[in-house]
C-alpha cells in the first residue's frame, strides 16, 4: 500500500504507520507456515486440555471433598484445594501451549503466535483465581489491580519493555536514588509480606490460646513473642528484597537509642514492665484488680504499653504497665480463686441464739455460688447491740461480689427467709421518749 499522507496531521501519519505495521505483521502471519502451525498447535493444546480436564476433574473432586462434619486442618486444606479445581483447564492449556512453543521455536525459530496464546491461557487462570478462589478482601484487591494487569502485559509482550523503562526511571531523595520499579516492587512485596505476617500471627495466636496447660500469662507472652518474631522476620526479608543493607540501619538504631535515653523513657519502662508482668503472671486478662487510687475493674486487654481495665459500669481505664510494678495493686483474681465474704445481720433479744449458727449456715450453704472449701459457711456472734443481737456469716465464693455476682444480696435473702421460717424476729430500733415537766393527766 502506498498512500500519500503528507498533507495529513502528524498524529494521523503516526497512526497510519502503526496500522500499516500491524497489517504487514498480520499478513506475514497469514502467509507464514510457522504461524499456521502455531495456530494449529494452540487449538490442539486447548482441545487436549479440555479432554484431560474432563477425565481428571471427577477424580480431583472426589479426592478434595472432605466429610461434611470434619473441621481438621487436613479437611480445611482439602476444601481450599477444592476451590482450585476450576484452574485445571487453563493451567493444562498453558502447559500444552508451552510444550508447543518449544516445538515451533525448534522447528521454525519463532513462537510469537503460540506465546501470545500461552499468555492468554495464563490470564484466564489469573482471572479465575481472583474472581472465584481468593476470598480475602486485601488479596482480591491486590489481584484485581496488580496481578491481572501484570499478566495482561505479559500476554501481549509488553511486560519486559515496561519493566526496563521503570528500572531506568530513577527517583532521587537527597543522597538516595532508587528506580520506580524498586519502589513498586517494595510496595507490593511489603504489602504481601505484612499481610502474610498478620495471617501467621492470627494463626499462631489462635493455636497458643488453645494450649490450656499453659498459664494465661505464659500464653500471652508466647503470643507476643511470636508476633515480634513474625513481623521482625518480615521486615528483615523486605529489606533484603529491596537491597537495603542491614548495616545501614545502625544509624537508625542509634537514633532510637538516643530517643529512649531522652523522650521515650516512659515508653521503654512500660514495655519492660509489661514483659515482667507476663513473665511473673501477677496480673493477666480476666483478673479483677483494685488500683492504689481506689479504682477497680477487670483486665480485658494487655498491650505493650498499658493494661486496659473495664469497670462494671462499662468504662475503660488505661493503666500504664509501670504502675503495676511500682504501686500497690490488689488482685482479687477473678479467675477461679476463692475469696471470703461476710454479711452482717441481727436478731431479737427474745431469740434463742444457740439456734442461729446452725440454721443460717445451712441456709447459706444452699447457694450454688458458695463453696465448701477451704471452709464451709460460718456464723459468728459479734456483739449485743442497742436493738438486737449482732451476728455475721462468713462464706467463701469463687469471684467477687459485684457485676454478674450478687452474693451478699442473695445471702441476705436466704437469711431473711430462714429466720421467717423459724419465727425469729429481725429487730428494728425502739425509742422511749420521756417528757419532763409535763402537766399531770387529770
> Are residues 325 and 237 part of one domain?
no
Which residue, among 307, 291, 285, 312, has the nearest Cα to 406 in the 3D structure?
Answer: 312
The answer to the question of residue 63 being in a domain is yes
The pLDDT, as a whole number, for residue 70 is 75
Which string of b and e fits 409-431 if b means at least 16 CB within 10 Å? ebbbebbeebbeeeebeebeeee
Same domain, 40 and 106: yes
Place of cell 479426592: 63
Q: List average pLDDT for each run of 10 residues in the chain, which is 442 residues long.
A: 60 66 60 70 86 89 81 78 86 87 75 80 89 85 87 83 83 69 81 81 76 68 74 76 63 60 66 72 74 78 78 80 78 66 87 86 87 84 85 83 76 90 81 67 54
Tell me if 17 is assigned to some domain. no
Say if residue 269 is in the same domain as residue 355: no
pTM (2 d.p.): 0.53
Q: What is the 3-state secondary structure (H, E, C) of 218-280?
A: HHHHHHHHHHHHHHHHHHHHHHHHHCCCHHHHHHHHHHHHHHHHCCCHHHHHHHHHHHHHHHH
- Cα separation, 143 vs 195, in Å, equals 14
Per the domain annotation, does 434 fall within a domain? no
Instruction: Please identify which residue in the block is written with the cell numbers 501470545.
Output: 116
Identify whether residues 390 and 276 lie together within a single domain: no
Q: Are residues 348 and 363 located together in one domain of the fold? A: yes
Q: What is the pLDDT of residues 262-298, one digit of tens each?
A: 556 677 777 777 777 766 666 777 777 878 777 778 7
Pair (141, 50) in one structural domain: yes
Q: Are residues 36 and 153 in the same domain?
A: yes
Q: Is residue 88 situated within a structural domain?
A: yes
Separation between Cα atoms, residue 326 and residue 23, nearest integer Å: 83
In a domain, 238, yes or no: yes
Domain that holds residue 364: 338-421
Contact criterion met (CB below 8 Å) for 317 and 295: yes
CA dist., res. 78 & res. 163, Å (int): 37
Q: Is 13 a domain residue? A: no
The candidate with the shortest Cα–Cα distance to 107, out of 33, 43, 163, is 33
The pLDDT assigned to 23 comes to: 61
Asked whether residue 36 falls in the same domain as residue 108, the answer is yes
354 DSSP assignment: G
Residues 6+ apart with CB under 8 A from 146: 188
**pLDDT for residue 336:** 52
Sign (positive or negative) of CA dihedral 154, 157, 158, 161: positive
254-291 as b/e, with b when 16 or more CB fall inside 10 Å? eeeeeeeeeeeeeeebbbebbeebbeeeebbbebbbbb
The neighbouring-strand residues paired with 392 are: 344, 380
* Strand, coil or helix: 340: strand
41 and 149 assigned to the same domain: yes
Domain annotation covers residue 27 = no
C-beta separation of 59 from 88 below 8 A: no
Which of 261, 289, 315 is the last residue before a domain boundary? Answer: 261
Distance CA 425, CA 389 (A): 11
Nearest to 309 by CA among 335, 288, 333, 293: 288
Give yes or no: residues 206 and 238 share one domain.
yes
Taking a C-beta distance cutoff of 8 angstroms, is the pair 317, 309 a contact? yes
Residues 127 and 184 in one domain: no
Is 430 a domain residue? no
Total domains present in the chain: 4
Interatomic CA distance for residues 81 and 65, integer angstroms: 9
Picking from 331, 350, 373, the residue at the C-terminal end of a domain is 331
Inter-residue contact 83 to 63 (CB < 8 Å): no
Q: What is the pLDDT of residues 34-71, one digit of tens each?
A: 677 777 888 888 888 889 989 988 888 888 888 877 77
CATH number of residue 322's parent domain? 2.30.30.60
Of the three residues 215, 234, 261, the one that is the final residue of a domain is 261
Q: Is 143:130 a contact under the CB 8 Å cutoff?
A: yes
CATH of residue 397: 3.30.70.100
pLDDT at residue 381, as a whole number: 87
193-197-198-204 Cα dihedral, nearest 10 degrees: 160
Cβ neighbours of 100 (radius 10 Å): 24
**Are residues 229 and 279 both part of a single domain?**
no
Amino acid at each position: 500500500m502506498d498512500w500519500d499522507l503528507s498533507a495529513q496531521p502528524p498524529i494521523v501519519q503516526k497512526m497510519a504507520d502503526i496500522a500499516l505495521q500491524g497489517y504487514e505483521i498480520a499478513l506475514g502471519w497469514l502467509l507464514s507456515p510457522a504461524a499456521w502451525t502455531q495456530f494449529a498447535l494452540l487449538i490442539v493444546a486447548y482441545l487436549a486440555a479440555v479432554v484431560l480436564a474432563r477425565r481428571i476433574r471427577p477424580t480431583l473432586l472426589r479426592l478434595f471433598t472432605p466429610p461434611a462434619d470434619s473441621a481438621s486442618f487436613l479437611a480445611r486444606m482439602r476444601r481450599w484445594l477444592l476451590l482450585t479445581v476450576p484452574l485445571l483447564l487453563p493451567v493444562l492449556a498453558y502447559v500444552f501451549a508451552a510444550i508447543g512453543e518449544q516445538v515451533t521455536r525448534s522447528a521454525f525459530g519463532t513462537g510469537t503466535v503460540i506465546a501470545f496464546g500461552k499468555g492468554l491461557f495464563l490470564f484466564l487462570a489469573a482471572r479465575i483465581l481472583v474472581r472465584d478462589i481468593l476470598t480475602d478482601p486485601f488479596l482480591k484487591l491486590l489481584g484485581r489491580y496488580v496481578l491481572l494487569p501484570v499478566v495482561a502485559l505479559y500476554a501481549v509482550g509488553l511486560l519486559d519493555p515496561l519493566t526496563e523503562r521503570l528500572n531506568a526511571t530513577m527517583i532521587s531523595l537527597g543522597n538516595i536514588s532508587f528506580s520506580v520499579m524498586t519502589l513498586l516492587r517494595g510496595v507490593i512485596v511489603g504489602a504481601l509480606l505484612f499481610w502474610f505476617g498478620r495471617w501467621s500471627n492470627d494463626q499462631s495466636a489462635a493455636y497458643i490460646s488453645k494450649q490450656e496447660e499453659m498459664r494465661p500469662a505464659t500464653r500471652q507472652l508466647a503470643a507476643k513473642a511470636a508476633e515480634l518474631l513474625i513481623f521482625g522476620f518480615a521486615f528483615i526479608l523486605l529489606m533484603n528484597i529491596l537491597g537495603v543493607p542491614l548495616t545501614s540501619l545502625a544509624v537508625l538504631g542509634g537514633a532510637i537509642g538516643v530517643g529512649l535515653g531522652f523522650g521515650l523513657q516512659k515508653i521503654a519502662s512500660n514495655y519492660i514492665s509489661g514483659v515482667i508482668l507476663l513473665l511473673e503472671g501477677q496480673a493477666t486478662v480476666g483478673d479483677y484488680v483494685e488500683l492504689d487510687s481506689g479504682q477497680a475493674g477487670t483486665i480485658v486487654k494487655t498491650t505493650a504499653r498499658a493494661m486496659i481495665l473495664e469497670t462494671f459500669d462499662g468504662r475503660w481505664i488505661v493503666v500504664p504497665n509501670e504502675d503495676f510494678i511500682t504501686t500497690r495493686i490488689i488482685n482479687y483474681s477473678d479467675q477461679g480463686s476463692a475469696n471470703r465474704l461476710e454479711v452482717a445481720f441481727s436478731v431479737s433479744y427474745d431469740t434463742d441464739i444457740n439456734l442461729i449458727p446452725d440454721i443460717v449456715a445451712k441456709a447459706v450453704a444452699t447457694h450454688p455460688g458458695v463453696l465448701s472449701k477451704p471452709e464451709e459457711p460460718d456464723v459468728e456472734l459479734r456483739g449485743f447491740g442497742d436493738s438486737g443481737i449482732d451476728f455475721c456469716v462468713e462464706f467463701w465464693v469463687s469471684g467477687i461480689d459485684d457485676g454478674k455476682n450478687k452474693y451478699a444480696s442473695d445471702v441476705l435473702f436466704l437469711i431473711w427467709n430462714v429466720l421467717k421460717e423459724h419465727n425469729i424476729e429481725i429487730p428494728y430500733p425502739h425509742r422511749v421518749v420521756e417528757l419532763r415537766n409535763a402537766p399531770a393527766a387529770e
